């Protein structure tokens, strides 16, 4: 006897090929536009769905999860990070949570290197000059940036993405250093030619570029706070493609405006889309709209992982990407 088709509610528009496959497999409710659901809409969706497919923009805290209906049994998150979901409360209510790990590793590492190059080589400034029609021709001292070969790169968080960044940086001739909760195995360090720093303060003070590649957890909130930012070299650059909350954005803005840092490349922000307007005024700051995972290939693979998690759950088995509270 065939299993009952699950009722699946998707909170945001997904790539067309993913939505088509979801419609083939489940009783799926898709969004007609890409507007973010309100809390009331999310609560209503959780009451009528067997499976909810949220995105990083949907905050599912304990208060909202308390409004979930009895039929909701799986939150199949479209994305690797789950800090927007109270996983512990969900599990207490008998709701499993899955995610899509590993898919965006290469794309995010690419964007990290792109930001390092954009800031150090002043690419946005050059683009603005050309688009405004103000270029007067080549000159020996015009638009001078810096060479990244030979510079020290300090990676904060040496998981999958951090290691992918290390490989790319080495290809550009950068010296790779890292700080991580746990030191890598010696053979991995050797392969990456990476130097481990037990003290984050000591590493930060000696690097030319800092790359944030760690998740947002209570222990990493404002890990790069005002005190630690002041340890950086005055000409150093900081890049963040991980989570905005890891950096004290107001402190960073003050230091950049005071000329106490060389520049910043940010793809994520402490308060989501509410970016400190004073950051936008700075020529040595590159701001991107959370584009780290924004490739057709990556977003499609994320959707495929969501579908596999739902199908496996519907077949009575543990989703392959089940999130265990406290393990992320």
Tell me if 118 sits within 8 A of 146, measured CB to CB.
Answer: no
- Return the pLDDT at 2: 47
- Return the pLDDT at 326: 59
CA 14 to chain CA centroid, nearest Å: 18
Low-confidence ranges of the chain (pLDDT < 50): 1-2, 328
State pLDDT tens for residues 94-139: 999 999 999 999 999 999 999 999 999 999 999 999 999 999 999 9
Any idea of the CA torsion for 22, 25, 30, 36, to the nearest 10 degrees? -50
- Return the pLDDT at 65: 97
Please name the residues in contact with 133: beta carbons below 8 A apart, sequence gap of 6 or more.
none
- Return the pLDDT at 187: 98
- Return the pLDDT at 327: 53
Please name the residues in contact with 204: beta carbons below 8 A apart, sequence gap of 6 or more.
154, 210, 224, 228, 231, 232
Q: Please, what are the domains in the chain?
A: 7-103+295-314 (3.40.50.720), 105-135+143-287 (3.40.50.720)
Task: Name the nearest CA neighbour of 221 among 191, 241, 246, 198.
Answer: 246
Tell me if 51 sits within 8 A of 9, measured CB to CB.
Answer: yes
- Return the pLDDT at 143: 95
Taking residue 255's Cβ as centre, other Cβ atoms within 10 Å add up to: 19
- Angle of helix 296-314 relative to helix 16-25, nearest 10 degrees? 10
CA distance 276 to 242: 18
Residue 113, classed as helix, strand or coil, is helix
- Return the pLDDT at 105: 95
């Amino acid at each position: 006897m065939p299993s009952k088709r699950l009722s699946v509610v998707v909170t945001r528009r997904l790539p067309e090929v993913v939505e088509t496959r979801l419609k083939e497999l489940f009783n799926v409710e898709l969004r007609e536009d890409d507007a973010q659901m309100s809390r009331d809409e999310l609560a209503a969706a959780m009451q009528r769905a067997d499976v909810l497919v949220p995105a990083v923009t949907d905050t599912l805290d304990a208060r909202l999860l308390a409004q979930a209906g009895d039929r909701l049994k799986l939150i199949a998150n479209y994305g690797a990070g789950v800090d927007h979901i109270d996983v512990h409360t969900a599990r207490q209510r008998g709701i499993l949570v899955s995610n899509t790990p590993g898919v965006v590793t290469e794309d995010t590492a690419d964007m990290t290197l792109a930001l390092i190059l954009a800031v150090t080589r002043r690419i946005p400034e050059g683009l603005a000059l050309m688009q405004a029609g103000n270029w007067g021709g080549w000159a020996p001292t015009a638009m001078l940036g810096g060479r990244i070969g030979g510079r020290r790169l300090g990676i904060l968080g040496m998981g999958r993405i951090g290691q992918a960044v290390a490989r790319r940086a080495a290809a550009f001739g950068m010296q790779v250093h890292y700080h991580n909760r746990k030191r890598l195995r010696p053979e991995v360090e050797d392969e990456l030619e990476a130097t481990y720093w037990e003290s984050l303060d000591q590493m930060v003070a000696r690097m030319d570029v800092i790359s944030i590649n760690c998740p947002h957890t209570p222990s990493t909130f404002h890990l790069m706070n005002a005190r630690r930012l002041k340890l950086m070299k005055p000409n150093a650059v900081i890049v963040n493609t991980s989570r905005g909350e890891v950096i004290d954005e107001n402190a960073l803005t003050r230091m950049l405006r005071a000329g106490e840092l060389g520049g910043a490349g940010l793809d994520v922000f402490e308060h989501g889309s509410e970016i400190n307007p004073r950051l936008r005024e700075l020529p040595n700051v590159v701001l991107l709209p959370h584009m780290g995972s924004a490739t057709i290939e990556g977003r499609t693979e994320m959707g495929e992982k969501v579908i596999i998690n739902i199908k496996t759950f519907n077949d009575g088995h543990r989703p392959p990407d089940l999130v265990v509270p406290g393990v992320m």
